[in-house]
A = this chain, B = another copy of it.
């Protein structure tokens, strides 16, 4: 279907006006975290989220905050845990966490208390990664398999 341009008149070089635009760009990324316990997998998942927002090697531990999350089931607990962490970053103290230590991990009453170590996000000091817009339940998976010593979580976040 190729043709030569040789015989084509000048008008073909006219460029049409632009009558288009690009709308709403949406994207997501899936976090996959694991550990020697489900608790550790949750902690790692939270750190994965912060690691997406900046490069954690630039973050120092200068500050600690405690968050609590609760829900009616395990997936809800993971969701709210991450959502609380996102809140730490999105509002004062704008904390970027390099380390998370869950001090209470209650999978019967679905409650988490977590110490969050890091520092205030400072543009210039901390490379700007990708903004995390929301946690989602989409394709969420929690593998809690003590028999095979397998503890993993998969969470899709909107970016």
Contact = CB atoms under 8 A, between A and B. Distances in A.
A61 B40 CA distance: 58
Interface in A4-27: 5, 8, 12-16, 18-27
A33 to B, nearest CB: 4
Interface residues of A, number: 51
Contacts of A14: 99
Main secondary structure on A side of the interface with B: strand
A48 interface: yes
Interface in A76-108: 93, 98-99, 101
A75 interface: no
A142 to B, nearest CB: 14
A117 to B, nearest CB: 6
